[in-house]
């Protein structure tokens, strides 16, 4: 519900902050005091068009801010819209609009900048403004099917049809994509086959190929390695002053010393072991020097392979394992593309079967909607009789597309072309205000006063099923009085049960039914006109009802009449 409204420099409102409660709040005041300015400000919050004329003449910009307390249902609806845009959500929704004379207007939702077009989507279902010129949901034919579903308890069944229709549309999009991209599919298959042939032709062996760099380095330095190994062998064993000969001489010297001191025997053994190790190492180096082969052909083959592998790594990944992984991905994609033709046939068969199922569901739903439409007609016309519009007729005829561009009324003749996410039903609420006037849409055929009462009758009929938490009735009592005015007040009171209703009214009969009363006043000071709002306590409320009854002169009799009227409304 709407909990707070803050307005600054808007029209003749200088600055006001007002809190609102649940139930029925009446807003009254003399003509021109600024009551309808509130509706204009709320229209901005709901995404209405802004203009520089809305800014107070002596200010640069106007600000309108509204705070909504969200119920569990409305919070879920708001979160689904805000989260994809990265806007934080909570139990409150705070909307702020700034209107600048230069045209640089701004919109903020929970502190984040947004756009006016998104406001309309976000606030749809939060507030309904009902008046002689506007009802944001009831006048829009796009909402009439869902309103009828809510009235008839068919929302869940309709949602199941909607989900099935979305599945069907997904299959149809898949078929169009597969059929429409045949040339691209074949070109892609050629590309994948070329890439896979290139990879497969190399016959990558991870273990062997990862050793190629080391083998290549050896081949490139074969002569150097052979020379170094031969030189080491020469120094250890084959040379004139070989290490092995020196160790042999040293071993002899220590052995002679050990003949005198046997404690040196261990050292003799160590020197002998060292000499043997040097000899073995020299022989291994000789064998290595003789094995190193400076094979130019092998070197060329290795360089070519490494160049090929590096090219694949640059194209498909940083390592050979990445190349192989990418090859598997391409094989999988190629397999899907090769199966595309059969998938088209499968998807078309699935779509045809699903369409048959949906049409059966939709026809069943349509028959139930027909029953709900008849009940809604009876309830609305009962409400209209209470509002002294007993000659007004209401109906919601259901039609279907016939597949040839025309319309039919027989559900069995409904063609698949009639199918939408709401089912096969196309309907619009119609009225005939007086005998002989014919039928027409709500917004086009009714006069201002009639439309207000028709909207009130619809809200009365839908009050247990309509999910909108806040209604704003803008002078729906225009052109009525007496008993009808009392009925209107009682109807608004009934509609306010379990929701919030704000009603701008000139009639004391209507205002007396309110739970809360706010007075709109106009002030003039130093050639400056301002408008203000203030909640009334019970005594002040009695005075305001008396003013509405008797004008500027309030007598004891009008006060008693006002007290009696308030007491009677309870």
Domain chopping of the chain, boundaries: 537-570
Question: Could you tell me the CA-to-CA distances from 228 to 225, 237, 284, 286 in Å, in that order?
Answer: 5, 14, 13, 10
Tell me: pLDDT of 135 over 60: no
Q: For 235-279, how does the pLDDT look when each residue is reduced to its tens digit (9 = 90+)?
A: 888 888 888 888 888 888 888 888 888 888 888 889 889 888 988
- Whether the pLDDT of residue 327 is over 60: the answer is yes
What separation in angstroms does the CA of 106 have from each of 45, 93, 98, 299, 419? 12, 17, 5, 72, 40
Mean pLDDT on 305-320: 77
Burial class (CB in 10 A: 0-12, 13-18, 19+), 495: buried
3-state secondary structure of 311: helix
- In 3D space, the residue among 538, 480, 470, 483 whose CA is nearest the CA of residue 505 turns out to be 480
Residue entry with tokens 């009225």: 431
Burial 180-206 (b: 16+ CB within 10 A, else e): eeeeebeeeeeebeebbeebeebebee
Provide the pLDDT confidence category of residue 33 given band limits of 50, 70 and 90: low
* pLDDT at residue number 536: 92
Here the tokens at position 122 are: 């976000």
Distance CA 453, CA 132 (A): 9
Confidence (pLDDT) at 133: 52
Lowest mean pLDDT among 31-35, 143-147, 196-200, 428-432: 31-35
Decide which of 67 and 405 is more confident: 67
Residue 445 confidence (pLDDT) above 60: yes
Q: Which two tokens stand for residue 348?
A: 């078309």
Point out the least confidently predicted range of 31-40, 105-114, 451-460, 503-512: 31-40
- Band (pLDDT 50/70/90 cuts) for residue 71 is confident
Within 10 angstroms of residue 497's Cβ, the number of other Cβ atoms is 12
- Listed residue (129, 14, 64, 20) closest to 517, CA to CA: 20
Integer angstrom CA distances of residue 469 from 2, 459, 510: 9, 12, 21
Nearest to 352 by CA among 148, 168, 141, 484: 168
The mean pLDDT value of the chain amounts to 85
Q: Decide if 342 contacts 350 (C-beta within 8 A).
A: no
The DSSP output letter for 238 is: I
Q: Return the pLDDT at 136.
A: 55
Q: What is the pLDDT of residues 391-443, one digit of tens each?
A: 889 999 999 998 888 999 999 999 999 999 999 999 999 988 888 788 988 76
Asked if residue 315 has pLDDT above 70, the reply is yes
CA proximity to 499, closest of 528, 464, 526: 464
Tally the C-alpha atoms within 13 A of residue 353's C-alpha that lie toward its C-beta: 6
- Quick one: pLDDT at residue 309? 75
DSSP-based three-state secondary structure for 43: helix
The helix (H) or strand (E) run that includes residue 213 is: helix 212-220
Q: What is the mean pLDDT of residues 286-299?
A: 75
């Amino acid at each position: 519900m709407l909990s707070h409204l803050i307005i600054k420099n808007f029209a003749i409102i200088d600055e006001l902050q007002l809190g609102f409660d649940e139930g029925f709040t009446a807003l009254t005041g003399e003509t021109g005091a600024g009551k309808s300015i509130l509706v204009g400000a709320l229209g901005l919050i709901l995404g209405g068009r802004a203009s520089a004329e809305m800014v107070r003449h002596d200010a640069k910009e106007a600000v309108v801010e509204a705070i909504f307390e969200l119920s569990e249902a409305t919070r879920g609806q708001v979160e689904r819209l805000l989260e994809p845009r990265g806007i934080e959500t909570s139990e409150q929704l705070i909307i702020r609009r700034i209107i600048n004379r230069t045209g640089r207007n701004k919109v903020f939702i929970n502190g984040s900048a947004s756009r006016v077009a998104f406001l309309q989507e976000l606030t749809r279902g939060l507030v309904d403004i009902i008046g002689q010129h506007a009802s944001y949901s009831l006048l829009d034919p796009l909402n009439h099917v869902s309103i009828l579903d809510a009235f008839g308890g068919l929302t869940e069944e309709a949602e199941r049809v909607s989900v099935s229709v979305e599945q069907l549309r997904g299959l149809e999009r898949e078929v169009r994509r597969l059929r429409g991209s045949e040339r691209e599919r074949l070109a892609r298959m050629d590309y994948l086959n070329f890439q896979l042939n290139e990879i497969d032709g190399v016959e990558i062996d991870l273990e062997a190929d990862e050793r190629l760099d080391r083998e290549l380095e050896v081949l490139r330095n074969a002569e150097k390695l052979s020379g170094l190994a031969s030189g080491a062998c020469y120094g250890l064993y084959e040379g004139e002053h070989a290490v092995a000969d020196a160790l042999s001489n040293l071993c002899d010297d220590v052995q002679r010393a050990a003949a005198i001191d046997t404690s040196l025997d261990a050292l003799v053994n160590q020197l002998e072991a060292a000499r043997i190790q040097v000899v073995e190492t020299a022989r291994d180096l000789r064998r290595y020097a003789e094995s190193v082969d400076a094979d130019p052909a092998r070197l060329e083959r290795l360089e070519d392979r490494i160049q090929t592998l590096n090219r694949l790594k640059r194209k498909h990944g940083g390592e050979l394992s990445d190349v192989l992984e990418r090859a598997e991905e391409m094989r999988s994609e190629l397999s899907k593309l090769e199966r595309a033709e059969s998938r088209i046939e499968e998807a078309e068969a699935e779509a045809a079967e699903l369409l048959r199922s949906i049409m059966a569901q939709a026809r069943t739903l349509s028959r139930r909607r027909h029953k709900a439409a008849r009940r809604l007609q009876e309830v609305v016309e009962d409400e209209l009789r209470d509002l002294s519009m007993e000659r007004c007729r209401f109906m919601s005829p259901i039609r279907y597309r016939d597949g040839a561009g025309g319309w039919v009324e027989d559900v069995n003749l409904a063609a698949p072309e009639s199918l939408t996410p709401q089912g096969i039903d196309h309907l619009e609420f119609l009225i005939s205000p007086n005998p002989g006037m014919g039928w027409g849409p709500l917004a086009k055929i009714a006069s201002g006063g009639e439309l207000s009462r028709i909207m009130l009758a619809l809200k009365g009929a839908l009050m247990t099923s309509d999910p909108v938490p806040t209604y704003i009735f803008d002078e729906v009592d225009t052109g009525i009085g007496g008993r009808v005015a009392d009925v209107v007040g009682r109807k608004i009171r009934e509609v306010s049960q379990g929701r919030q209703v704000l009603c701008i009214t000139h009639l004391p009969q209507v205002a007396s039914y309110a739970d809360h009363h706010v007075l709109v006043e106009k002030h003039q000071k130093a050639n400056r006109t301002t408008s203000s709002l203030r909640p009334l306590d019970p005594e002040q409320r009695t005075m305001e009802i008396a003013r509405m009854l008797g004008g500027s002169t309030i007598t004891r009799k009008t006060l008693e009449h006002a007290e009696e009227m308030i007491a009677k409304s309870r």
